[in-house]
Amino acid sequence: MIVASIDPTSQAFAIGEVIGVMSAAATAIAALWWLTRSWRTQSTPPGGDPVRALQEKRKRNGFIAGVTVLIVAAASVEAAASYDPDPRASKPRASEALAADGSEESLVIVLPMAFGDFRLMTGAAATRAETEVLAGRELPHSMRTGYYDQDADESFDLFVLVNSADWDPKVAEDKATKSISQEFHNYFTATKARDVARFDAGEHGGGLACGFVAGPDRDQVLCAWSDATNFVGVRLVRETDLAGAARTTLALRNAATR
């Protein structure tokens, strides 16, 4: 599926917004001076006072110059306000790059054997779950998966897909060129998710978002979290509430992050 190639959170896009604002201002100023040229350059009427006529002409030009300054000032304020690019995913904001004690974090993902009511499926049960999920498709060799059972019925209730720059150079390249917002946009667009919302990403920073996707029998919830190193997708089979799914995803993230 083709997703948007323009990143509205990028520095280039932000610079384009600034250029657009200033170009509009330049056009307005050019139009102002062109439309007022006859008024500004009125000649001295027959029998008139040349000195007084010159003074009036200077006042008219001064007035237009003042309006020009106001247009430039207003455009500069608007341009400054519009310049707000998100950092690339590999360079989160300073407040998101630090652990609670102020030290830098290295966010390594190790899927836990259990978190909350969920238990990691292993052996034949995990193989059956993966066969059901993939339905003959193949995942990229670098992607790691996990399947969790919530009610001990040997059927998965949550599955997770982990991509990390720790073991995949392509992830590192993507995170160096995309913001977390753009990562989410691409991911949820490709999965045809709707009603996507952002949620608190917790103590490890980065971003967390969830949305609804179509399931075999009913809608399911798809969540994802992203930080400077990892991008993780989580599908919750039985959850019907985005906020509840976000809490479960955050609990998994906290349990998996080392």
Cα atoms in the Cβ-side hemisphere of radius 13 Å centred on 125: 15
Q: With H, G, I as helix, E, B as strand and everything else as coil, classify residue 186.
A: helix
Query: Residue 222: beta bridge partners?
Result: 211, 235
Taking a C-beta distance cutoff of 8 angstroms, is the pair 226, 249 a contact? no
pLDDT at residue number 164 = 92
Residues in the chain: 258
pLDDT block averages, 10 residues each, the chain of length 258: 50 67 88 87 74 83 90 84 63 49 66 95 93 83 90 91 91 88 92 95 93 90 94 93 96 94
